[in-house]
Structure 1
Amino acid sequence: MSAPRPRPTPADDAPHILVVDDDRRIRDLLSRFLSEHGYRVTTAPDAARARARLANLVFDLCVLDVMMPGENGFDLAAWLRGTSSVPIVMLTARSEGADRVRGLEIGADDYVAKPFEPRELLLRLNNILRRSAPAASPSSAPEFVRFGPFVYRPERGELRQGEEIIRITDREREMLTLLASRPGETVAREELAGSGDASNERTVDVQINRLRRKIELDPANPLHLQTVRGLGYRLQVD
């Protein structure tokens, strides 16, 4: 009988993924599968132990199960989004549209329903990490754009209101960078959607509304991030 194949050791600078799921089989499956594809993986069986991991380690992405005993994944995602912009993928047996939208409104970057194909999840993680990686700004891109009391610097992905840094998610940063690269011009929903199954018009609208809550005095009547009916959105700069 052959000896079990040793688990590969990812590089020290490989992306670090936190997997939070109360199902040990899921944790073991994802830990081995993602490690085999070059990721560093840390797991936690519940929200309390996930918080302990997050207090001591830096992660590049979090995969959170929704249905867990005690604090559920939605609550953990809301807490995490209040303290960090790390990308979040919700992993759950629930596939209802309302739950999907709730996760996106909280600040999740994607939503994968169980049962899932590990390779599909891997592709989604790859896409999110590629989007969140710093990109070289074109030489023609503005150094910063100003709208109302806010200043956004695309190269840094930094949004400020005076001296205060406004916390935004990676998807919000990606969309704001695209809008800032064409100030005052209409950017189509399709361009803002990016890639992946969760990238559709409804998702873009949810994320735009979430971003408006951070930069608009009255999100229902936006002055800076305006809707161009039937086409997309534009950023009105000073």
Structure 2
Amino acid sequence: MASPPPPDAAHLLVVDDDSRLRDLLRRFLEREGFRVTVAPDAVEARRLLKAMQFDLIVLDVMLPGESGLELTEAVRRERDIPVVLLTARGAPEDRIAGFERGADDYLAKPFEPRELLLRIRTILRRLSAAAASAASAGPVRLGDAVFDPARGLLTRHGEPVRLTSGEAALLAALAARAGETLTREDLAAALGQEDHGERAIDVQVTRLRRKIERDPREPAFLQTVRGRGYVLRPG
């Protein structure tokens, strides 16, 4: 019998209405060293989110009642927990819809549990690496907003502006090389999203601009370099 995960292990919330898949993922991820709590729908997931702290959510899109996309959007208004979406619909436009709602990654069913494990570890490692690499970096001023890479914290007039983990990682990657043009491939590698395509980066840049720019249609700080990529110009 496998030993229980240590108390400081990352805590995952798995939300899926398929009881067999829920149980499979719970047992598999616990064997891989995670603490795992499961829920069959958004109602139970919301109750658990109020009662416990989680490091990452694995969330099925096609839930009864409130969908996974709707729950992702609701989570994003309140928390910055990373979200990995699971769905039987793997078309590019479905992945983009997930990123537009604030998901950090997207995995089409059927999938191998080890592939999900890889996605989870990539996100958690990315967050840890971003915090470590930013520890010695100073705050970056973006007009009336300030981004602290060490904490992944964006504030405006001293008030926190909520960022998803993906948005914080994207802004940290840009801030670490401020003034330098980064290709979409550079940014996808920094976020561990090499297989999601350029459009996924564009969607996340659009979301980030809404939070740091006075006019996202005329960005002053996160600028497009036509034919090359993006550049962050603090000021």
* Shorter-chain TM-score above 0.5: yes
- Is the 2:213–2:219 contact (alpha carbons within 8 Å) kept by the matching residues of 1? yes
- Is the 1:15–1:40 contact (alpha carbons within 8 Å) kept by the matching residues of 2? yes
TM-score by length of 1: 0.93
Q: What is the alpha-carbon distance in structure 1 between the residues aligned to residue 227 and residue 72 of structure 2?
A: 32
Q: 1:42 aligns with which of 37, 54, 57?
A: 37
Q: 2:200 aligns with which of 182, 199, 203?
A: 203
Find the counterpart in structure 2 of residue 93 from structure 1: 88
Q: CA deviation at 1:162?
A: 0.7
Alpha carbons of 1:152 and 1:196: their partners in 2 closer, same or farther (altered >3 Å)? closer
Question: CA offsets, 1:5-59, max 9 Å, x none?
Answer: x343111100000000000001000000000000000000000000000000000
Q: CA deviation at 1:230?
A: 1.4
> SS of the counterpart of 1:43?
strand
Find the counterpart in structure 1 of residue 122 from structure 2: 127
Alpha carbons of 1:33 and 1:175: their partners in 2 closer, same or farther (altered >3 Å)? same
Alpha carbons of 1:182 and 1:98: their partners in 2 closer, same or farther (altered >3 Å)? same
Q: CA deviation at 1:209?
A: 0.4
TM-score by length of 2: 0.94
- Is the 1:93–1:115 contact (alpha carbons within 8 Å) kept by the matching residues of 2? yes
Q: CA deviation at 1:188?
A: 2.0
Find the counterpart in structure 2 of residue 178 from structure 1: 173
- Is the 2:184–2:229 contact (alpha carbons within 8 Å) kept by the matching residues of 1? yes
Q: 1:69 aligns with which of 61, 64, 68?
A: 64
Q: Which runs of 5 or more residues in structure 1 are unaligned?
A: 1-5
Q: Which runs of 5 or more residues in structure 2 are unaligned?
A: none
- The answer on 1:225 being equivalent to 2:230 is no
Q: 1:212 aligns with which of 209, 214, 233?
A: 209
> SS of the counterpart of 2:141?
strand
Q: What is the alpha-carbon distance in structure 2 between the residues aligned to residue 63 and residue 92 of structure 1?
A: 11
- The answer on 1:189 being equivalent to 2:191 is no
> SS of the counterpart of 1:233?
strand
Q: 2:112 aligns with which of 112, 117, 139?
A: 117
- The answer on 1:146 being equivalent to 2:141 is yes
Q: What is the alpha-carbon distance in structure 1 between the residues aligned to residue 135 and residue 66 of structure 2?
A: 44
Find the counterpart in structure 2 of residue 78 from structure 1: 73
RMSD, matched Cα:
1.4
Q: Which is helix-richer, 1 or 2?
A: 2
- Aligned AA for 2:212? I
- Is the 1:132–1:174 contact (alpha carbons within 8 Å) kept by the matching residues of 2? yes
Find the counterpart in structure 2 of residue 3 from structure 1: none
Q: What is the alpha-carbon distance in structure 2 between the residues aligned to residue 99 and residue 137 of structure 1?
A: 33
Q: What is the alpha-carbon distance in structure 2 between the residues aligned to residue 197 and residue 45 of structure 1?
A: 31
Q: What is the alpha-carbon distance in structure 1 between the residues aligned to residue 50 and residue 95 of structure 2?
A: 27
Q: 2:53 aligns with which of 29, 38, 58?
A: 58
Between structure 1 and structure 2, the one with the greater Rg is 1
Alpha carbons of 1:138 and 1:59: their partners in 2 closer, same or farther (altered >3 Å)? closer
Question: CA offsets, 1:147-183, max 9 Å, x none?
Answer: 2111111112111101111111111111111211222
- Is the 1:111–1:198 contact (alpha carbons within 8 Å) kept by the matching residues of 2? no
